Copies of this chain bind each other. A is one copy, B any other.
Amino acid sequence: MQCVKVLGGVLGAAALLGLGIILGHFAIPKGTDLPAPSASASQDLDLEILEAVMGQLDANRIRENLRELSKEPHLATSPRDEVLVQLLLRRWQDPESGLDSAGTSEYEVLLSFPSQKQPNRVDVVGPAGGILFSSQRSEENLTGEQGDPNVVPPYAAYAPPGTPQGLLVYANRGSEEDFMELYQQGIKLQDSIVLTRYGGVGRRAKAVNAAKYGVAGVLVYTDPADINDGRSLPNETFPYSWGLPPSGVERGSYFEYFGDPLTPYLPANPSSFRLDSDNASGFPPIPTQPIGFKDAEVLLCQVNVSVYNRLELRNSSNVLGIIRGAVEPDRYVLYGNHRDSWVHGAVDPSSGTAVLLELSRVLGTLLKKGTWRPRRSIVFASWGAEEFGLIGSTEFTEESFSKLQERAVAYINVDISVFANATLRAQGTPPVQSVIFSAAKQIRAPGPSSLSIYDNWIRYSNRSSPVYGLVPSLGTLGAGSDYAPFIHFLGISSMDIAYTYDRSKTSARIYPTYHTAFDTFDYVDKFVDPGFSSHQAVAQTVGSVLLRLSDSLFLPLNVSDYSETLRSLLQAAQQDLGGLLEQHNISLGPLVTAVEKFEEAATVLGQHVSALQKGTPNPLQVRMLNDQLMLLERTFLNSRAFPEERYYSHVLWAPRTGSVATFPGLSNACSKAMNTGPGSAAWAEVQRQLSILVVALEGAAATLRPVADL
């Protein structure tokens, strides 16, 4: 069964290649003395090159990349992480298939590790103080990889050390509501140890919520109902299925923010100012430890949690490579993924890096042959220490703030490239929707159907667009991977692309072995994507998006797709907050006007683009228009909008805690003001947030209007 799948995948891919075109296109003399491809300022995307790239992306090479990348655990800053840094460098500096240049940059960042001398432990203690039961210190060695001495024992990174002891209380997901309910039921939380399950709220939030009730320690386990569709027996789980074995423990960072904890807004260079770690914020307040469900079942009575985590300053590397643009080298299309994993990290993140390496190989080969050079520069990035809080990418944005803000066209993130092989899943800001759709329409979906990726996608996840009718549903960007600093801190149009589940077949919170020692090459090869055709499909989709962004004469960023988003956020505000605001004499009128102005300016600009595309625009006209498209996302930044939300400056995509699904600043402020009296500071904040929005939208509209309009 698996064997057939592999063959089917490979044959399917081969059939997709359009070999004739490719052979034809490359039937030109080879050699390093070829003249450079013409750098004509009005050259548009070369469709033959695009086809060639699609054809050359090779599932088997991705598989071999993954095998190598996930062979050993490569926790951030570990020796194996450094080996992978060198692997990436070697690939990107290869004379036959490398980039123009590549290098590393290193940051000195604060990470958190379990002690090697004193393992973290969870013990059940009898009334006399004897230890009745001890949790396992590591996952069971089911396939050999779990016995690797470099497997980091399960721990909650950044949880403080401590050895609290207390009665165990089950606290569900550890949300505010969960604790409130326990409290109301009269259950004593003071000095207790709470057992919580992953999901619902963020990792650190469980400890923060618990600490408010005097809880002494927190355990977090993965519930089979949340991850395995209920299966929990050894013979139902890996290596017999993709299910998480009973001993599997999800590691993770329990740090609230992203970036190096000691250098917010500054690159973590050795000379940079560092907060004293006692003054750093965002860590869990009390000892916290993750455990497997095997252990969770047997915990009873008095529990002692021993956490010996310690903070360490470590050097973490990013690897960066560039292909210089032929015409506009000062415009950067960035494509990246993190490199570090909690353990072997075959799915997270090596499935993404395996794709990244294959795409850089194919493009590097075209480059070195002299067949092709992009119009704009392409920057490839392998980020370090993402698992601890997007640290490598964040430090990069802090260090390269000005260059990126001036010149970055878009950021493409592919972290986990394949969660499962049902459908494409893409998240991004509205301007990238059209380029993802264009790419997805061009490529055949993996598997037996002959649908395009787009047509397959729309079957699994769709929405009704007032402009386009039924379209696949593009998700919004949270802060789950390295795109976060690009979109939230720098206002760069960003996207995250993967292949994922059929949600009708599983309710797993995420793929079951996430952040455990069972996330291995064989796990991917046997259960996640046998044949690697989904990996190949992601490589093709991303390759197509990348080339369209780097090579199209007119940037394929459809800024008018923001109109639809703004209108829908506005409608939510009108419907769900309009009455409340009216009671407080706050008018949504200026916001309505601002949205209308945006819509109108975007429409007119769209007409201008169409007209220019039909004519023979000169290179400066194209550049000026592209600058408007590229910089639109920047106009939504306001560094003073959310002073308490570190790094979040984008007024449309900042975190929303309010219940109304509208503009986050407005939703959150209304939610806080709702129970305060007229004239309160909370109501003033609602008005301030409204003004910030109106000014941002009017400013955005102004940048879309003809450039010599006053």
Binding site for B on A (CB under 8 A): 41, 100-103, 263, 265-267, 269, 271-273, 275-276, 320-322, 324-325, 327-330, 377, 379, 398-403, 406-407, 587, 589-590, 618-620, 623-624, 627-628, 631, 634-635, 639-640, 684, 687-688, 690-692, 694-695, 698-700, 702-703, 707-708, 710
A399–B695 touching, CB < 8 Å:
yes
Which residue of the partner chain, among B103, B406, B628, B639, contacts A631 with CB atoms under 8 Å? B406
What residues on B are CB-neighbors of A700 within 8 Å?
A: 402
A273–B690 touching, CB < 8 Å:
yes
Which residue of the partner chain, among B263, B273, B322, B619, contacts A618 with CB atoms under 8 Å? B619
With A101-B710, A377-B708: A699-B624 Cβ-Cβ less than 8 Å: no
Complex CA–CA separation, A271 to B266 (angstroms): 36
A-B contact pairs, 23 of them (CB 8 A): A41-B619, A266-B691, A272-B691, A273-B690, A273-B691, A276-B684, A320-B710, A325-B708, A328-B620, A329-B708, A377-B708, A379-B710, A399-B698, A400-B699, A402-B631, A402-B634, A402-B635, A402-B700, A403-B702, A403-B703, A406-B703, A619-B620, A620-B623
What residues on B are CB-neighbors of A403 within 8 Å?
A: 699, 702-703
A407–B707 touching, CB < 8 Å:
yes
* A37, chain B: closest CB distance, angstroms: 16
Which residue of the partner chain, among B271, B325, B627, contacts A589 with CB atoms under 8 Å? B271
* A281, chain B: closest CB distance, angstroms: 15
B699–A401 touching, CB < 8 Å:
yes
What residues on B are CB-neighbors of A710 within 8 Å?
A: 101-103, 320-322, 379
What residues on B are CB-neighbors of A692 within 8 Å?
A: 266
Task: Look across to chain B and name the residue whose beta carbon is closest to the beta carbon of A686.
Answer: B273
Which residue of the partner chain, among B100, B398, B623, B707, contacts A708 with CB atoms under 8 Å? B100
Task: Look across to chain B and name the residue whose beta carbon is closest to the beta carbon of A640.
Answer: B265
What residues on B are CB-neighbors of A619 within 8 Å?
A: 41, 618-620
What residues on B are CB-neighbors of A624 within 8 Å?
A: 328-330
With A271-B590, A691-B273: A41-B400 Cβ-Cβ less than 8 Å: no
Task: Look across to chain B and name the residue whose beta carbon is closest to the beta carbon of A700.
Answer: B402
A708–B406 touching, CB < 8 Å:
no
Interface centre among A269, A400, A590, A703 (most CB of B within 10 A): A703
What residues on B are CB-neighbors of A628 within 8 Å?
A: 330
Task: Look across to chain B and name the residue whose beta carbon is closest to the beta carbon of A274.
Answer: B687
Task: Look across to chain B and name the residue whose beta carbon is closest to the beta carbon of A264.
Answer: B640
A400–B266 touching, CB < 8 Å:
no
Task: Look across to chain B and name the residue whose beta carbon is closest to the beta carbon of A279.
Answer: B684
What residues on B are CB-neighbors of A691 within 8 Å?
A: 263, 266, 271-273
B640–A702 touching, CB < 8 Å:
no
* A88, chain B: closest CB distance, angstroms: 13
Complex CA–CA separation, A330 to B619 (angstroms): 14
With A590-B271, A703-B403: A695-B266 Cβ-Cβ less than 8 Å: yes
In the complex, besides A271-B587, A330-B708, 12 extra interface pairs with C-beta distance below 8 angstroms are: A267-B695, A271-B694, A273-B688, A275-B684, A328-B620, A329-B708, A399-B695, A402-B631, A402-B635, A402-B702, A618-B619, A620-B623
* A624, chain B: closest CB distance, angstroms: 5
Interface centre among A273, A276, A407 (most CB of B within 10 A): A273
Complex CA–CA separation, A406 to B703 (angstroms): 9
Complex CA–CA separation, A406 to B534 (angstroms): 41
B266–A406 touching, CB < 8 Å:
no
What residues on B are CB-neighbors of A379 within 8 Å?
A: 710
A402–B708 touching, CB < 8 Å:
no
Task: Look across to chain B and name the residue whose beta carbon is closest to the beta carbon of A643.
Answer: B643
Task: Look across to chain B and name the residue whose beta carbon is closest to the beta carbon of A707.
Answer: B330
What are the nearest 5 A-B pairs in CB distance?
A271-B590, A330-B707, A273-B691, A402-B635, A324-B708
Task: Look across to chain B and name the residue whose beta carbon is closest to the beta carbon of A591.
Answer: B271
What residues on B are CB-neighbors of A102 within 8 Å?
A: 710
With A266-B691, A688-B273: A618-B41 Cβ-Cβ less than 8 Å: yes
* A559, chain B: closest CB distance, angstroms: 13
Complex CA–CA separation, A692 to B620 (angstroms): 35
* A5, chain B: closest CB distance, angstroms: 40
What residues on B are CB-neighbors of A329 within 8 Å?
A: 624, 707-708
* A328, chain B: closest CB distance, angstroms: 6
What residues on B are CB-neighbors of A703 within 8 Å?
A: 402-403, 406
B620–A322 touching, CB < 8 Å:
no
What residues on B are CB-neighbors of A618 within 8 Å?
A: 41, 619
What residues on B are CB-neighbors of A101 within 8 Å?
A: 710
* A582, chain B: closest CB distance, angstroms: 15
* A242, chain B: closest CB distance, angstroms: 39
Task: Look across to chain B and name the residue whose beta carbon is closest to the beta carbon of A587.
Answer: B271
A708–B631 touching, CB < 8 Å:
no
A695–B398 touching, CB < 8 Å:
yes
* A367, chain B: closest CB distance, angstroms: 13
What residues on B are CB-neighbors of A103 within 8 Å?
A: 710
What residues on B are CB-neighbors of A265 within 8 Å?
A: 640
What residues on B are CB-neighbors of A398 within 8 Å?
A: 695
Task: Look across to chain B and name the residue whose beta carbon is closest to the beta carbon of A407.
Answer: B707
B406–A702 touching, CB < 8 Å:
no
* A638, chain B: closest CB distance, angstroms: 8
What residues on B are CB-neighbors of A401 within 8 Å?
A: 695, 699
A684–B271 touching, CB < 8 Å:
no
A699–B271 touching, CB < 8 Å:
no
What residues on B are CB-neighbors of A702 within 8 Å?
A: 400, 402-403
Complex CA–CA separation, A569 to B263 (angstroms): 25
With A377-B708, A707-B330: A399-B699 Cβ-Cβ less than 8 Å: yes
What residues on B are CB-neighbors of A587 within 8 Å?
A: 271
What residues on B are CB-neighbors of A321 within 8 Å?
A: 710
* A514, chain B: closest CB distance, angstroms: 32
What residues on B are CB-neighbors of A631 within 8 Å?
A: 402, 406
* A645, chain B: closest CB distance, angstroms: 13
* A493, chain B: closest CB distance, angstroms: 15
